[in-house]
Structure 1
Amino acid sequence: MINRSDRVQIWSSQLWANDFPPVCAMTGRPAETWRKFKFSTPPDWAYALLALVCLGGLGVIAFAVVMALVAQRATGFLPLTKASSSTVTLATWIPSGLLIGGFALWLLALVVALSTNDSTASAVAGWSFFVGLLFIIAGLIGRLVVKPLICPRAKVMEAAPGQNDRIVELRNVNPAFVTAVRHSQQARAAQFGQATRPPLMQQ
């Protein structure tokens, strides 16, 4: 397998317990704080349900509910610098703010359009709808494209038979963090000898 320098496999219990070397997961610098992350990975077959989106608003809601119910989840903390934590905050809330603002402008456009037939009001409604559309597109790009390129991601795998813990593959993390985590895992394995759980297969 190709050894990816920006990926490392850990246990979900390790993520929850903050059990990492004090190395920033995003920059590789000494960590200054811990930040909570929530990772989820739906099974591959769930994406076939994208067809529900064609049904409109109810289809989108149904798709989101199903994806949330069947996804494998892991929650915990990663070491970051304060600057990296601020970057994660901006990458999370700016797209969310754009999406909220876009839908608010659409609501304004609807209210104005229904309240009067005045030409000026119609122009305001039209511009509100157009600007709202731009906000929503920008928010989706930020949420689905920009944030995954900036922030740590993870693939959460199903728990193996007989195991309560599950493997989480951290992705888009700094190579220095990956190296520090692997060294920590190797040192722990050497200290305790034979592990009670199967070894992690690093990719």
Structure 2
Amino acid sequence: MPRPKTHDDALRARLLDRAGELLSSEGPNALSLRRLAADVNTSTTAVYSLFGGKPALLDALYEEAFRRFGERVAAVPLSDDPVENIVRIGLAYRRSALADPQFYLVMFSKVVPNFEPSEETGSAALRTFQPVLDNVRRAIELEIFVAAPEEHIGIAVWGMVHGLVSLELNGNLPAELTIGEMYERAVRANVNGWRR
């Protein structure tokens, strides 16, 4: 089969997906531009043309992971109830992780030693957390939540959600557990624990 000659968005997406898979399943040593190109049936020239090199590929991978996550969070139908909105965002977090497990490790661990996203990419990643903080702030203002720094509540909710999702993706939860049901109950319990 001849290799594609166009370096388009579809090829870019395939390269990013495969790069995420390699990093999450085999670690950073598995990610060479030559192997990545071969795995996606393209040339290393295409990889360089699209990304400019490995550091830019890693930055694009990080950016794409948070872009997809941010889109899923932004798609959450919000209500007038900020507490319910936080629960819905927590459920979207899990759906996003299950939809793109190859990106989860890239987003939330130092899978590539010494990699730091560009300032612009790092800022974009942080913005995906803003809907949680906005709803926490609103719950505090409406005196639904205790008066505490919004970042404390937001990070506590995120930490619990992140922990359960990580356990699920790593296969560390009991097989007989109905994970979706347990997860939603845990998110609701955590969020409701911040009520006055």
TM-score (norm 1): 0.30
**Structure number with higher relative contact order (C-alpha < 8 Å, ≥ 6 residues apart):** 1
Quick check: which has more Rg, 1 or 2? 1
